[in-house]
Every structure is written in C-alpha cells, then in structure tokens.
Amino acid sequence: MTDAIASPDSAPTGDALVRVRGLTTRFSGRTVFDGLDLDIPRGKITAIMGPSGTGKTTLLKHITGQTPADAGELLVDGEDVAKLSREGLFKLRERVGYLFQNSALLTDFDVFENVAFPLRQHTRLPEELIRDIVLNKLQAVGLRGASRLMPSELSGGMARRVALARAIVFDPMLILYDEPFVGLDPIALNQVLKLIRTLNETLGITSVLVAHELAAIQQIADRVVLIANGKVVASGDPKEIANDGSPWTRQFFGGEPDGPVPFHYPAGDYAAELGLGETA
C-alpha cells in the first residue's frame, strides 16, 4: 500500500532526520515551494522525484543551508537550519555529505588528494591520520588502487565513486545525492546502486536521492516522494507508487505529456494574441 492517496504530505515514520513544515520558496516572484511538508526517515533511503524545475535540487540546498527558504521550518536532526549561526551551519555541513551529478572533482588533484581535500581544509589532522581515513574511504568504494590517478583518467562511474568517498570523509549522518545515476553504463550504475545501499546499511547513514530513474530507485529506495506544484503530491513504496492511481503518478511515471503538469506554459488568450478577438 502506498500512502499516496490517503495523505500525500504525511510521512509514515515518527523518527524523521529531516522535518520540513510549511516550506515556501520563491525565486523572482515564481513560487517553487508552496507550503511543503515532508519527513525524511532516519536510516532509510528516500528518493525525491518530480518534473524538471520542481525544486528538487533547491530542496537539497535548503537542507544544507546553502539556499534559504522564504518561510516555513526545516529541521535537520532537530536543528532549525534557518536559525543556525555561521559556525552552526559549518558544523551541520560536516555531518552532511553531498554528491553532485557532475562529481565536481578538482581536476588538478589526484584521487587521493580529492578525497583528502575536505580534511585538509577543515581539520588539522596529522598526515598519517589523513592517509588512513582517505585509504579507508577509497577502500569502501573499491578504488584504493586508483588513489594516484588523475580525474581525467577516470571513467564516469569511477569519478562518481571518488566523489562518494569524498562525501563520506567526515562520516556523515546524511548523504544527499543529486542525480547520481546520470550518464552511467549499466555496470557502473549497479556499482553505484550497490554502494549507496551498502553505505546506508553498514554506516547507518540516512540517504536522500534525487533521481529520475524509477527502475534504479525501485532497487534501493525505501520510500519515494513525488513533488510537483510546490508540494508533495504522492509518496510511498517505490514498487507500488507508480500504480497508485492518482493523476500525478499516472502522468509522471507514465510519461504523459499533458495532465496535472500542463503541456502549455501559462499564456494569454491565443486568438486575442493573433488579433482575432477573444476565444469563447
């Protein structure tokens, strides 16, 4: 059973690591979130889906405090992100790993130095300890042997795994994945899927995944949340959500060009614009 029809905005868990209430976000007068309510359960993998431009990346940026919302509340592990001091935000970001779609590796540094980078920037750990941590994280993603390769020598899948090693370098409580599967061949895709699941289980990390690939999501996510028109319009079991019968899921998962998300961008009367008078 999905919880989509009964109560799209509610979450089925009492233990949320991220709790969003009444979140409202506007960019240049355009409303992206319109009173968004959402709970992200601790220790689980939650997939965020929705049409392009619906605000999925913005939601991740709200969680890390990179982009402030206009109204509402967003708590991460009980802390209101909007009220954190600079130092509080900094501490929060150390506990949140962020994996970007493009991996964002530093091209002038080798794999080892890319993973070591946050440690060198934010700590004064001795070199020996940095080495142990970096090798441990590279081992976790299966790339300890690639530590001296440059980013230009990596495949897309390897680069994504290096970025993942870097994202877990501070042993985060939460990892945010923004489109982690884009451009991966089937083998690399399965490697990344397996890693996300393994990290979630072995390290007890909470994972939030923004992605469009339902088949991949069905393999690893515990819950899917569909966002559209500034709100959660459906949520539930990834294997069942596509068949919950709501017009939102029918359009989104069926790839229908028109529906609750209209084909036409809002426009004035067509006939009037052509100078033919108003249409009825």
Ligand X SMILES: Nc1ncnc2c1ncn2[C@@H]1O[C@H](COP(=O)(O)OP(=O)(O)OP(=O)(O)O)[C@@H](O)[C@H]1O
Q: Enumerate binding residues for ligand X (CB under 6 A).
A: 27, 32, 50, 52-58
Tell me the closest approach of the beta carbon of residue 57 to ligand X, in angstroms.
Answer: 3
Alpha carbons 10 and 4: distance in angstroms, whole number: 9
Q: Considering beta carbons, is residue 124 or 264 the nearer one to ligand X?
A: 264
CB 27 within 8 A of CB 230: no
CB 2 within 8 A of CB 244: yes
Tell me the closest approach of the beta carbon of residue 103 to ligand X, in angstroms.
Answer: 16
Q: Considering beta carbons, is residue 29 or 126 the nearer one to ligand X?
A: 29
Tell me the closest approach of the beta carbon of residue 224 to ligand X, in angstroms.
Answer: 15
The two tokens of residue 274 are 């052509």
Q: Considering beta carbons, is residue 57 or 136 the nearer one to ligand X?
A: 57
Polymer length of the chain: 280
| 175: number of Cβ within 10 Å | 23
Tell me the closest approach of the beta carbon of residue 263 to ligand X, in angstroms.
Answer: 17
Q: Considering beta carbons, is residue 158 or 211 the nearer one to ligand X?
A: 211
CB 211 within 8 A of CB 217: yes
Residue 157 sits at φ, ψ, to 5 deg, of -65, -40
CB 50 within 8 A of CB 57: no
Tell me the closest approach of the beta carbon of residue 101 to ligand X, in angstroms.
Answer: 8
CA-to-CA separations, 182 to 19, 30, 101, 188, 208, in angstroms, rounded: 28, 28, 7, 11, 16
Q: Considering beta carbons, is residue 112 or 252 the nearer one to ligand X?
A: 252
